Chain A
């Protein structure tokens, strides 16, 4: 079976104007990546590494300069596929305020469905379903500006979810939220993944990446690592060289290992770390 999203040898550059000359700023260099249905992929990278650019390639906002992106057997550079691709791959952005269009929550969730011409009864059904999935049904008649950041972001997710996408790409969805909002969004994302939605989570929070099933590390436009979170985070030195952190528990266990404590080097989860330390202390 072909993979669901296929990025083949893609390069991409932005054109910038400096002193009247157009300067090409290459953001992605010959990137290849394939994502299967139902996966939960985290994309890590520091600012300017090209991770947002990669995200925008997945739903035809950006088109590759060379190479090709295929989503569910549709080529993104083919204009007639545009709306099919965008309803297959939904996108959630960083700032919840800047992606809510309507003045009432349910109207906003309905926005995408209205655009593609779904009949009103069906819109009603899908809006209610999407709002229930993200736990915002009780707020359907509220004004978005009165909600908290986490709630707004969940409304934005519902707006994407109403299209029944196969895949949701989230571009640093928690960057502007407080810890409570961040927790809300992360649990919503995990739930969606369990429902079978493919998740691509762009982030620079290591703890969030640790919850994914696969981590892709990208640096100056190239994919450096692509593996399970455990294997990626066990290479803490390499990550540090790239200007990235590892989850706090990993950092702790690695520091202990360096001091000669006998621990596994692939601990990324708080509970797991607790278990390991508990066992160790009990023994000693």
Chain B
């Protein structure tokens, strides 16, 4: 059943990573990405990898989830890897056969890019594994709320995300119902060419859109009845609080980042 799919990939838990303030977690993720891209040599990159594995161990998320998150982007990694390998012509030639030339620099760039992308994805997945979507939208709202001075709609964006998250399961359920209804009337959704199957989706999408608009209308009315008037003067049930854990983790991540920078300067491989 499509009804059973989970939204986001949140793994509920009580680890240190789960309990960090989501704002801090977002910040740390950004620092981690900086760390990965700042690393110039294998030692620096290694430090980044050690940091990620260390974080995974703390979070209690099974390591195999880390591999699972990489799987969908594997084709992209392979593709960029091949491009790097064949099109970088600088450095010492390792292999030359007809029009194919592979240089050591090309090989190095390939490995570097691949490792960076893989660990970039793993790191950001760790964020979504340990943070519930609602905490994440909350964090985004708070982080961007100072930008309201320049008319950046921080609250509105967060509200849109919350409502979207809220209605995804409802709309999935609805899709399921519409599909059954159309099948009952003889709609054939599963056979034929891709074009035919795409066409068969039209009688599902139209009722779905109509109903989504109707729901939007109802929801707007219900929100109005409950005194919704935008983000100004709004308070929140749950306040985000930073504690010693958050400062400690910032310190740890900064130390790792410093190590990467030092490795760049002094080791250079």
For the complex, give the distance between the alpha carbons of A264 and B227 in Å. Answer: 47
- B185 sits at the interface (CB 8 A): no
Is B223 part of the contact surface with A, judged by Cβ < 8 Å? Answer: yes
In the complex, which residue of chain A has the Cβ closest to the Cβ of B233?
A117
Instruction: Name A104's contact: one of B134, B226, B234, B239 (CB within 8 Å).
Output: B134
Interface size class of B (residues with CB under 8 A): 20 to 34
Known: A95-B218, A111-B226, A112-B226. A103 touches B235 (CB 8 A): no
Residues B226 and A98 in contact, CB atoms below 8 Å apart = no
Query: Pick the contact of B218 from A93, A102, A124, A127 — CB < 8 Å?
Result: A93
Indicate if the CB atoms of B225 and A115 lie closer than 8 Å: no
B 219-245 binary contact with A (CB < 8 Å = 1; else 0): 101111111110001111111000000
Smallest CB-CB separation from A162: which chain B residue?
B226
B60: interface (CB < 8 Å): no
Is the pair A114, B218 in contact by a Cβ cutoff of 8 Å? no
Query: Least Cβ distance of B117 to chain A in Å?
Result: 31
Verify if B163 is at the interface (C-beta below 8 Å from A): yes
Q: Are B227 and A103 in contact (CB under 8 A)?
A: no
Question: In the bound complex, do residue A99 and residue B234 qualify as a contact, i.e. CB atoms below 8 Å apart?
Answer: no
> Of A93, A100, A120, which is within 8 A of B221 by CB?
A93
CB of B81 within 8 Å of the partner chain? no
Majority-rule SS of A interface residues: helix
Closest residue of chain A to B217 (Cβ to Cβ) is: A98
- A16 interfacial contact with B, CB 8 Å: no
Are B233 and A59 in contact (CB-based, < 8 A)? no
Give the Cβ gap from A161 to chain B, nearest Cβ, in Å.
11
Kindly identify which residue among B133, B170, B215, B237 contacts A114, using a CB–CB cutoff of 8 Å.
B237
Given A102-B162, A123-B237, A145 and B170 touching (CB < 8 A)? Answer: yes
B226 touches A86 (CB 8 A): yes
- Contact: A101 with B227, CB < 8 Å? no
Supposing A106-B237, A114-B235, A120-B236 touch, asked if A97 and B215 sit within 8 A by C-beta, the answer is: yes
In contact, B223 and A116 (Cβ under 8 angstroms): no
Is the CB–CB distance between B215 and A107 below 8 Å? Answer: no
Instruction: Identify the A interface with B (CB < 8 A).
Output: 59, 61, 83, 86-87, 90-91, 93, 95, 97-104, 106-107, 110-120, 123-124, 127, 143-145, 156, 159-160, 163
Q: Can you list 25 A-B pairs with a CB-CB distance of less than 8 A?
A: A61-B221, A83-B227, A86-B227, A93-B218, A93-B222, A98-B222, A100-B166, A101-B166, A101-B222, A103-B133, A103-B162, A103-B165, A103-B166, A104-B134, A110-B236, A111-B226, A112-B227, A113-B235, A114-B234, A114-B236, A120-B237, A124-B237, A127-B237, A156-B222, A163-B227
